[in-house]
A = this chain, B = another copy of it.
Amino acid sequence: MSAGWLSIVGLGPGDAALVTPEVTAALAEASDVIGYFPYVARVAPREGLTLHGSDNRVELDRARLALELAAKGARVVVVSSGDPGVFAMASAVFEALEAAPKEWRDLDIRVLPGITAMLAASARAGAPLGHDFCAINLSDNLKPWALIEKRLRLAVEADFAMAFYNPRSKARPEGFARVLNTLRDVCEPERLILFARAVSTPEEELRVVPLAEATPEMADMRTMVIVGSSRTRLIARKGNPLLYTPRSVPEGTA
C-alpha cells in the first residue's frame, strides 16, 4: 500500500488572499478533495484531482470516506471554511477515526489551521476580541438548548466578549431570537453587537448596533455575530466606525 495521507485544512473565510501557503501546498499535492459543496467549489479543478462535494450535515460520512481513501493510499484533503478545528471537520474526522478499524489510527493525519470566521470578522471591524473572549456555536443540532443558554449567562457573568458561530439557519429560525432575549436579560441595552456577513467576499456587510436595536433578522447562515464585553467601545470616524475592546481592565473590577 502506498503512503496515503489525510490533511484536514481551513480555507479561511472566502478571499484567496487569506488561504495560508501551507494549505495551498497541500491542495497542490492532493489526489482527492472532500467537503461541503460550496467549500469544495473553492478548489480549482485539475487533472489527477477528484473533487468530492457533499451536502451539509453528513460530516461523519464525509470523514469516513476521507479515512477510507487515505487508508487506500490516496492523498486526501478535507476542506472546511475558516479553521478546521473550530466547529468544523477536524473533530468529525477524529470521531470517525475512533469508530474505524484500529490500524487507521496510524495514518498520516494532519490538521492545517486557517483564518477562522470570528478573527476575520473581528479584524474587519477593529478588534472586538482584543481582550478575553469565548466562542459559542449557537446550533442546537448537537447539544441541548439549555446548555447554550447556560453558557451564554456564564459568559456574560465572566464579561467575555462572545463570538457566535451558526447564529441562525432555516431549520432553526427561532434560536437566535431566544439568544437575543437572554442577552437582554443580562446585559445593558447599550452592549455593542457586530453582525459581520460573508466577510472577505463580494457580499460582505458589516453592521454594529447596540443590543437594544438588534433583531433576529440581522443574522443569517453566513453571519458571524460578535457581542462585545461591557468594555467594548466604538471609535467614530468617516466610514465604518472602529469597534474594539481595550486590553486593560481597571483594578477593583472582578
Contact = CB atoms under 8 A, between A and B. Distances in A.
Interface of A: 12, 15-22, 25, 59, 83-88, 90-92, 94-95, 97-98, 105-106, 109-116, 119-120, 122-124, 126-137, 142-144, 146-147, 149-151, 154-155, 157-160, 233, 235-239, 242, 244-254
A147 to B, nearest CB: 4
A106 B238 contact: yes
Contact of A123 (B19, B113, B157): B113
A143 B155 CA distance: 17
Most buried by B among A25, A86, A113, A122: A113
Contacts of A147: 249, 253-254
A246 to B, nearest CB: 6
A113 B111 contact: no
Contacts of A242: 94, 97, 109
B144 A160 contact: no
A195 to B, nearest CB: 17
Nearest to A90: B127
Contacts of A90: 123, 126-127, 130, 244
B22 A21 contact: no
A241 to B, nearest CB: 9
A127 to B, nearest CB: 4
Contact of A135 (B92, B134, B239, B244): B134
A126 B8 CA distance: 10
A24 B248 CA distance: 30
Nearest to A17: B22
B83 A119 contact: yes
